Amino acid sequence: MNTALKHWKEAATVIFVAGTRHRAAVDITKRSPVTSPSYGKSGWPHKSAFDYEVLLLKRSGKSGFMPNAYVFPGGLVDSSDFSSDWLDIFKCFRHSPNFGLGVVKQPPHTRPALFATDRASLGSPIPGDVAFRICAVRETFEESGILLVLPTREASASAHSLRSSDAPPLTRIARLCDAGELAKWRLLVNENPFNFIQMCKELDCVPNIWAMHEWGNWLTPTGIYGKERRYDTAFFICCLQDVPHTMQDEKEIEHYKWSTPSEILHSYQAREIWIAPPQFYDLGRMCHLPQLRDLHSFSRSRALEGCEQWLPVRLVSSDCYISLLPGDDKYPDNPDCLGLNDMNMVTEKTLEELQQESSVFHRIVFQSLHEATIHVNIMPKYKHLLPFANSSWGSQADHKSHL
């Protein structure tokens, strides 16, 4: 772990999407996912256009960070995720670059610190790209009961096929033991994360790090959640063939929800659930790709391009507040990425005045917790997607996804 990191806590999360064979989805196999005419009233693709659902977990109302929010599974990195004990479990891959994950094209000096930090210099033989995926697998198992692993005997062949195939298969959840034994291990891992290593040894399995593709990196905004609630979070995405058995832990997580991206956005807008900015931004991205195999192919190839670190900066105006993102012409030239100071900016100007004096947009405008719009006309970096553009709000020169 990066013990030199004083102002942020490292974390990892994974966007789990899974195929839904039970849904009578609209057949759009011969249409472009971006131009499909199957839209709902708000402009997002209609829920019937999706042949997959996304997993969200509702945080406990007693949580000190984002209580009652629906989030992607994940959590804080533990020292066990960087343990040298993993070398035996990954013995077939420890001499391969990034344990067989592949080499990201992004120049090292532009990589987010989360991924660029030399973990060997901090005393760990486990690369960050590997450890953060281990963390995401472990936390998902603790919170939802979903165990993303491969039997050791299959790991080498499966990882090779993922790297070499242009159309790798969708991921399936391996059944290694009965439900009772799995529940026993889940309790043990919740008690002590090092038990996750022991579980993999005894069940003769390997965390399926190759099924998880780099998606993004978000920093918690400063001055909102307090100095003790700042997280530097790696976002991954994993595409499953089928919806797996899911069960909340009744501690950190009160409820789980599998829904299409558009259903989640509608529920947010209807004030039925609350999701944080990273969730509705990324769900908006996924609306471009309502078919699972398209999303799977895109996320796999795009991941090797790299990603940009995003620290939202809050701008409070007279009639709204705005979350500024990198690239916006009002985004600070030198944002305080160390989190030493509160970065809230305040102005007496109205939203209309702020919009008129800007030409380059990458911002989320909030009228309330459930009333938000994304305004963006930048070119996304690293071949990523912008959130879905609702055509009734603007042209391609100024995408505005109504959330």
CB 320 within 8 A of CB 348: no
pLDDT per position as a tens digit, 7-44: 678 999 999 999 996 544 333 333 333 334 344 445 67
Cα distances (Å, whole numbers) of residue 123 to 81, 108, 110, 127: 13, 20, 23, 11
Nearest Cα residue to 60 out of 255, 272, 273: 255
Q: What is the mean pLDDT of residues 339-344?
A: 61
DSSP for residue 47: G
Alpha-carbon gap, residue 313 to 335, rounded angstroms: 8
Output the pLDDT for position 399.
Answer: 42
Query: In 3-state terms, what secondary structure has residue 234?
Result: strand
pLDDT per position as a tens digit, 201-227: 999 999 999 999 999 999 988 766 555
Q: For residue 91, give both structure tokens.
A: 């013995």
DSSP for residue 150: E
Q: Are strands 231-240 and 9-19 parallel, antiparallel or unpaired?
A: parallel
pLDDT per position as a tens digit, 133-180: 999 999 999 999 999 999 998 887 766 665 555 667 899 999 999 999
Output the pLDDT for position 279.
Answer: 94
Output the pLDDT for position 26.
Answer: 38
Alpha-carbon gap, residue 376 to 371, rounded angstroms: 17
CB 273 within 8 A of CB 264: yes
Alpha-carbon gap, residue 277 to 258, rounded angstroms: 19
- Is the pLDDT confidence value at 198 over 70? yes
Which part of the chain is CATH 3.90.79.10?
9-303
At 234, is the pLDDT very low, low, confident or very high (cuts 50, 70, 90)? very high
Output the pLDDT for position 252.
Answer: 76
Q: For residue 136, give both structure tokens.
A: 């995401």
pLDDT per position as a tens digit, 373-388: 899 999 999 999 999 8
Q: Which residue has the higher pLDDT, 112 or 389?
A: 112
Is it true that domain 9-303 has CATH number 3.90.79.10?
Answer: yes
Output the pLDDT for position 154.
Answer: 86
- Is the pLDDT confidence value at 390 over 80? no
